[in-house]
A = this chain, B = another copy of it.
Amino acid sequence: MNIVLYPKREEWAGLLERPCREDESLEKCCGLICEEVRRDGDAALRKYAWFFDRARIDAVEVTAEEKRAAAEQVPARLREAIREAYGRVEAFHRLQLPERRVYDDGRGTQCWQESRPIERVGLYVPGGSAPLFSTVLMLGIPARLAGCGEVVLCTPPNEAGEVNPAILWTAELCGVGRVFKAGGAQAVAAMACGTESVPRVDKIFGPGNRFVTEAKRWAARRGVAVDMPAGPSEVMVVADEGCPAAFVAADLLSQAEHGADSQVFLLCASPDLAARVAEVVRVRLERLPRRTIAEKALEGSKCVVLGSIGECLEMANAYAPEHLILALRDAGEWAGRVRNAGSVFLGYYSPESAGDYASGTNHTLPTGGYARACGGLTVGAFMKEVSFQEITREGLERLGDVIETMAEGEGMEAHRDAVRVRRERVSDINGEARP
């Protein structure tokens, strides 16, 4: 890891810069794949399953038989762990269910909002180097709590044309109705447009690589909502000297093994701690199964030593990390200073992996600096708030002048008329209302 000692303020922006991911050829390439799926449907999905995943698939949809077989392949101990995580994630997300609050002006007007589930949602679970059944939980549980009518899931098959059994079993646990063997841009396009097998959905959720992110943009352009742009995963650890270097090193490595483009930062106020952490990282890296990935990620990583923990928090806010670990003795007191972050882990005993799997919070979080403007996935992302207003005849009489004056001020005569006609004809409504 690169240790940077006491950088000046004007150097911060450079240190925190994320690699640029603009790529016109990617956009073009994704556009072609997506258009092909729109045109050729399942045939295009089969073609790209072979092209990208080296899988020959006949049916795009996973069959009931495959699901039954999968259940038997998941070890009991893992099933038990997933079930426990399910319960915790469900309990945390249940608290996000919205309450109806009514604004009543006491003069004949009531306004309120009601949440309605998004009817058809599509979940994307990446394949690649890890079978991310935890992501199935993080997408499937809020979808179920929201009450979405149709929940479908796409994930790439392996070379044998199969979906990982733990993913299938977890999808069943979450009540995901249908699972399709499709990955990458082509999966997103299938859910955005529909194919013979895959239904068109109203909103697409889930992380993914650059192809998936680009395809989500393509889908958004065509009127399908998407959760948030997914980028490389990030962690920033702010640590004090009381935290064992081994804890910090383990957190940095767990982020680094996510992907070669993962962003990994340690901020601290002690050159000694920075040196010790870098040493433990070096040693532990050797034994990691995903060492090649982690090594690559660590090349771009930085330990930044600043003058105080307060300055570390300022730098964290400037970066807006997806994950922020406050490995501080008095983490709870510092929490109030966090302005921009996706998910925050407080104290020496709250590793990021707890949030990735089982603390209860969602692990689908904003990356790439989006934490300045967006939070992680919630039940609310699977619903929409519909506004309602009910005005009585008397209410409109009272509110009428305000509306008419404003409509006139904006030059909107027909807007004004809509009130005026009701106020003027107040007397004859009853006649007309009872034919």
Q: A interface vs B, CB < 8 Å? A: 22, 75, 77-78, 80-82, 84-85, 88, 91-92, 95-96, 101-103, 105, 109, 111, 113-114, 116, 118-119, 129-134, 166, 202-203, 217, 220-221, 223-225, 229, 241-244, 246-247, 250-251, 253-254, 256-257, 284, 288-290, 294, 329, 331-332, 335, 338-362, 365-366, 368-376, 378, 380, 384-393, 395-396, 399, 401-403, 405-407, 409-419, 421-422, 425, 428-429, 432-435
When the two chains form their complex, are residues A402 and B85 in contact, meaning their CB atoms are under 8 A apart? yes
When the two chains form their complex, are residues B374 and A384 in contact, meaning their CB atoms are under 8 A apart? yes
Q: How long is the Cα–Cα vector from A134 to B389 in the complex, in angstroms?
A: 18
Q: How far is the CB of A290 from chain B (nearest CB, A)?
A: 7
When the two chains form their complex, are residues B370 and A225 in contact, meaning their CB atoms are under 8 A apart? yes
Given known A254-B415, A340-B116, contact A360–B389 (CB-CB < 8 A): yes
In the A-B complex, the 5 residue pairs with the smallest Cβ-Cβ separation, listed nearest first, are A225-B373, A375-B385, A81-B405, A351-B418, A353-B415
Q: What chain B residues lie within 8 Å of A339 (beta carbons)?
A: 116, 119
When the two chains form their complex, are residues B429 and A350 in contact, meaning their CB atoms are under 8 A apart? no
Which of B332, B376, B418 is the one whose CB lies under 8 Å from A385?
Answer: B376
Q: How long is the Cα–Cα vector from A241 to B259 in the complex, in angstroms?
A: 63
Q: What chain B residues lie within 8 Å of A329 (beta carbons)?
A: 433
Instruction: Name 22 interchain pairs, CB-CB below 8 A, sorted by A.
Output: A85-B406, A95-B101, A95-B102, A109-B354, A111-B359, A113-B378, A118-B372, A131-B409, A132-B410, A166-B409, A217-B217, A246-B425, A256-B414, A289-B411, A342-B387, A343-B389, A350-B396, A353-B412, A355-B389, A361-B389, A362-B387, A373-B384
Q: How far is the CB of A348 from chain B (nearest CB, A)?
A: 7
Q: How long is the Cα–Cα vector from A116 to B429 in the complex, in angstroms?
A: 49
Q: What chain B residues lie within 8 Å of A116 (beta carbons)?
A: 338-340
Q: How long is the Cα–Cα vector from A332 to B416 in the complex, in angstroms?
A: 25
Which of B348, B375, B409, B416 is the one whose CB lies under 8 Å from A113?
Answer: B375
When the two chains form their complex, are residues A410 and B119 in contact, meaning their CB atoms are under 8 A apart? no
Q: How long is the Cα–Cα vector from A341 to B102 in the complex, in angstroms?
A: 18
Given known A111-B361, A134-B406, contact A354–B391 (CB-CB < 8 A): yes
Given known A105-B360, A242-B432, A354-B391, contact A253–B132 (CB-CB < 8 A): no
When the two chains form their complex, are residues B388 and A346 in contact, meaning their CB atoms are under 8 A apart? yes
Q: How far is the CB of A155 from chain B (nearest CB, A)?
A: 13
Given known A343-B386, A349-B392, A414-B290, contact A402–B357 (CB-CB < 8 A): yes
When the two chains form their complex, are residues B389 and A350 in contact, meaning their CB atoms are under 8 A apart? yes
When the two chains form their complex, are residues A254 and B360 in contact, meaning their CB atoms are under 8 A apart? no
When the two chains form their complex, are residues A357 and B406 in contact, meaning their CB atoms are under 8 A apart? yes
When the two chains form their complex, are residues B242 and A390 in contact, meaning their CB atoms are under 8 A apart? no
Highest count of chain B CB atoms <10 Å: which of A224, A344, A349, A355: A349
Q: What chain B residues lie within 8 Å of A290 (beta carbons)?
A: 411-414
When the two chains form their complex, are residues B254 and A422 in contact, meaning their CB atoms are under 8 A apart? no
When the two chains form their complex, are residues B360 and A412 in contact, meaning their CB atoms are under 8 A apart? no
Highest count of chain B CB atoms <10 Å: which of A78, A284, A406: A406
Q: What chain B residues lie within 8 Å of A406 (beta carbons)?
A: 78, 81-82, 85, 133-134, 357-358
Which of B384, B396, B413, B415 is the one whose CB lies under 8 Å from A349?
Answer: B396
